[in-house]
Structure 1
Amino acid sequence: MILGVPWWVFMMILFIFLSGLMAFRAMRAEQRLEEQFIEQEGRIYIDRMEEERREKQNRKQRLPQ
């Protein structure tokens, strides 16, 4: 007993704290992965829009005036 409290109570508090810490780290890691995925998809979308814009400009240049 430490300060009139059984040792296993302190261990449970420690485990609860560590569990919360690990959950927080996992949440942050997942958030980073999600941001990377969103950035990647956004880049793909922007590249596609730029390609369509180039094709549209090429079509305008090829049309007889």
Structure 2
Amino acid sequence: MSLPFWVYFVIVGIFVSAFMAVKTAKEDREMETEWIEKEGQVYVERMEQEKERRKKVDAAV
């Protein structure tokens, strides 16, 4: 091949950049899923606490 050597560096750079973009997107997706699950658990716990509070109030009445 008669391409200048810097062209190979550019091509390798494109592949490395694509790989890093895919890797970062996957990590972001995993972090977002983890955060959503954590917030969902907090919501469920608050709902359970509210349910218990209402049971106590109804029992007292």
Report the TM-score when normalising by structure 1.
0.84
Distance 1:41 1:62 in 2: 32
Displacement, 1:6?
A: 1.6
Displacement, 1:15?
A: 0.6
RCO higher in structure (CA 8 A, sep ≥6): 1
Match of 2:24 in 1: 26
Report the TM-score when normalising by structure 2.
0.89
Match of 1:53 in 2: 51
Larger radius of gyration: 1
Q: Percent identity of the aligned residues?
A: 31
**Structure 2: stretches of 5+ with no match in the other structure:** none
Moved >2 Å (runs of 4+): none
RMSD (CA atoms): 1.0
**Structure 1: stretches of 5+ with no match in the other structure:** none
Point out the structure with the larger helix share. Answer: 2
